[in-house]
Structure 1
Amino acid sequence: MLPWIELDRASVPGDTAELRLKQRGSEFSIMLGANELMNSRLSGSEEALATLAAERLGPQPAPVVLIGGLGMGFTLRAALRVLPAEAKVIVAELVPAVVAWARGPMAAVFQGCLDDPRVSVHVGDVGALIRSSKSAFDAILLDVDNGPDGLTRSSNDGLYDHAGLRGAQVALRPKGVLGVWSSGPDDRFTRRLKECGFAAEALSVRASTKRSGARHVIWMAVRP
């Protein structure tokens, strides 16, 4: 079996955490300490984050979608496949190196999606972007941690607490969709979404594009 090769390291702004990009053959992994945050072989649930949101939005001529977390581009690519030509997709990525990896060693994984004219990249905190926006987005898709528990960065908790969810409501347009990815279930988060006025459901989806294997959770929450 081919060994893993570490290609690069990157610090996380405002934190002591450090991301590591690793490669084994054509497979890539992004690690934080001993935790694997993402792997290029597992794209199913990240793609579902986009496709499930698009289903709930329904046909719209020019939707505006905010994606929090670039990752390996799976949510972005899925969104571009299902959104119309006049859509606008803003990707907020906190770590500049992740954008550089997308255009460098992982270019084959991204398949040129960052060059799509519908896409713009905001290098910065998605939470700050949400808080500074009002009725700006038809959908907000968050995949910035292992879920609402803020495993990798405690500051991510601010996205998922009551104040953060109410901020997302303000940033969404009427009937806008908040989508949240998680590695596992969290009943308390479902309750928080409903307490903040969202029509919310937690969906179990496959981590990979195959019909077997681990499952992740996607929340779909619609603003009234």
Structure 2
Amino acid sequence: MTASYETPVVLDRREGPHGEVVLRRHGSLLQIIANGCFLMDTSDGRSERLLVDAALAALDDRPGPRVLIGGLGVGFSLAHAARQERWGAITVVERERAIVDWHRAGPLADLTAEALADPRTEVVEADLLTYVNETSATFDALCLDIDNGPDWTVTEDNRGLYAPAGLASCARVLRPGGVLAVWSAKPSPEFEGTLQNVGFQQVRTEEIPVARGVPDVVHLGVRPG
């Protein structure tokens, strides 16, 4: 019997500062649900890997770049970044303690144990928008995957991240020539326009083919040098 015909089993359910977060098993897959909204599962990971790869490729030959990954999720982006020797430092910002726990000592640990043990990796428990507003750290790449896209956020307050002020904060923590990469479940021409309006250059969208429906995408923009 395939996963699509099995009944999902809830492995953990938490009430966090932003509502309910659930980890469940559906057949062979692990799924994260936030406030009843499906976020991601362990079925593929192609788009999360492209998110990291596209950011790294945009940095050309910059030595030892530092990457900030927004959202731990099921860990695909972190695990992929940790397998790439070129990254000099990997910081993951995750606001849900439950998700961090599931990776450190729970059902998701098998996916990220090696990456979390990597000395380049740091996990920060914080809201991403708050973090980029307040941190003094700077990065060469920001890889953001905390929502289903700029037009489909998990919580209402996340919308501020994709607004001009939020993107300006992202640009502030990027070093000159640094790249912002944002995952989305569908293309957003409006978001592309906002990136351009706040000063990002080389704005483009890369598609990730899917079996059916609208392709996932990664929106990219470069902070001027």
Query: TM-score, structure 1 length as denominator?
Result: 0.90
Identify unmatched segments of 5+ residues in structure 2. none
Q: Which runs of 4+ in 1 moved over 4 A?
A: none
Query: 1 CA distance for matches of 2:153 and 2:137?
Result: 29
Matches within 5 A, 1:196-207: 196-199=198-201, 200-206=203-209
1:119-172 residue CA offsets vs partner (Å, 9 max, x unmatched): 000001111111123571101111111111253111111110001111111110
Q: 1:169 to 1:134 in 2, by over 3 A?
A: farther
SS of residue paired to 1:148? coil
Aligned partners of 2:179 and 2:223 also within 8 Å: yes
Displacement of 1:36: 1.6
Aligned partners of 1:40 and 1:109 also within 8 Å: no
RMSD over aligned Cα atoms: 1.7
Query: 1 CA distance for matches of 2:131 and 2:152?
Result: 18
Match of 2:43 in 1: 41
Query: 1 CA distance for matches of 2:14 and 2:151?
Result: 23
1:24-78 residue CA offsets vs partner (Å, 9 max, x unmatched): 3431011134432101003111111001100001223321111110001111112
Displacement of 1:4: 1.8
* AA of the residue aligned to 1:204: E
Matches within 5 A, 1:72-151: 72-84=74-86, 87-103=88-104, 104-133=106-135, 136-151=138-153
Displacement of 1:83: 4.1
Query: TM-score, structure 2 length as denominator?
Result: 0.90
Aligned residues: 217
* AA of the residue aligned to 1:92: V
Match of 1:60 in 2: 62
Q: 1:42 to 1:36 in 2, by over 3 A?
A: farther
Query: 1 CA distance for matches of 2:61 and 2:15?
Result: 40
Query: 1 CA distance for matches of 2:27 and 2:112?
Result: 16
Displacement of 1:11: 2.4
Query: 1 CA distance for matches of 2:180 and 2:137?
Result: 13
Q: 1:34 to 1:123 in 2, by over 3 A?
A: closer
SS of residue paired to 1:82? coil
Query: 1 CA distance for matches of 2:15 and 2:114?
Result: 25
Query: 2 CA distance for matches of 1:134 and 1:123?
Result: 16
